[in-house]
Amino acid sequence: MHVRSILDEIITHRPAHLTLIDPVKQSPARASEIAENADKFGTDGFLVGGSSGVYQANLSETVDAVKRVSKKPVIFFPGQDKAYSLSFDAMLYLSLLNSRNVKYVIRSQAESALLLKKLNVEVLSTGYIIVSPGMRAGDVGEVDLIRREDIWVANGYAAAAEMLGFNYLYLECGSGSPVTVPPEMVRAVKKTVDMPVIVGGGIRTAGVARQLIAAGADILVTGTVVERHEYKQRLSEIITAVHSA
């Protein structure tokens, strides 16, 4: 499976939805159940990973649990921990552009690049920028958060990401955030760059998903929604809103 072609083909027709499953947040059995339902509701793929607490065992068991119930792409979402599974279809190859720590910008990528190349892992090269409040991703990534009103700063990072040749731009405001990336920031960034824009953090309702899609987001990521006991209706409404935009 060539994940970039699959995603890019989808987003030439309509926006896409990815379901984020953090291995720390539930058992593999529960991850399987979530993935099965998300697949049924029409999600376009899965991101598996989290900021911290991800180890070889919980990561591999969660990827395998998702793979057992869905044929859609399963993509690694790396955090600060060193763990990987060969069952992934691709890896979100993130450079955290507004980190103060060069480790998250390029150094840890340089440490793993030769191995990933040798293993022929498909990487989705992604400029990752974190907007306030940033939550745990902002803390762990030692980020100089982009303030919500600083649209021109976001635009600068976006233009730099495009000129540096990243395939995707990811605007994040942190898992569990009470707010999303401001739609006006997404709109401004989409006017500046001609590249797919992924938006995540704080998306909990179909209405909010619709606003971000109307602003031009190509791919929305939701995670916290599926960590709730009663997630099915919410998830299905969000996916329908993304697809019917």
- Contact residues for ligand 1GP (CB under 6 A)? 20, 172, 174-177, 200-203, 221-225
Kindly tell me which of 52 and 117 has the beta carbon lying closer to ligand 1GP.
Answer: 52
Kindly tell me which of 20 and 74 has the beta carbon lying closer to ligand 1GP.
Answer: 20
Q: Which residue is nearest to ligand 1GP (CB)?
A: 200
Kindly tell me which of 118 and 185 has the beta carbon lying closer to ligand 1GP.
Answer: 185
Kindly tell me which of 77 and 84 has the beta carbon lying closer to ligand 1GP.
Answer: 77
The least CB distance from residue 5 to ligand 1GP, in Å, is 22
For the chain, helix (H) and strand (E) counts, in that order, are 10, 8
The least CB distance from residue 174 to ligand 1GP, in Å, is 6
Any bridge partners for residue 45, and if so which? 18
Whole-angstrom distance, CA of residue 145 vs CA of residue 130: 6
The least CB distance from residue 49 to ligand 1GP, in Å, is 10
**Structure-token match 């938006």, residue found:** 199
According to DSSP, residue 80 is labeled S
The least CB distance from residue 20 to ligand 1GP, in Å, is 5
Spell out the SS3 assignment of 157-224.
Answer: HHHHHHHHCCCEEEEECCCCCCCCCCHHHHHHHHHHCCCCEEEECCCCCHHHHHHHHHCCCCEEEECH
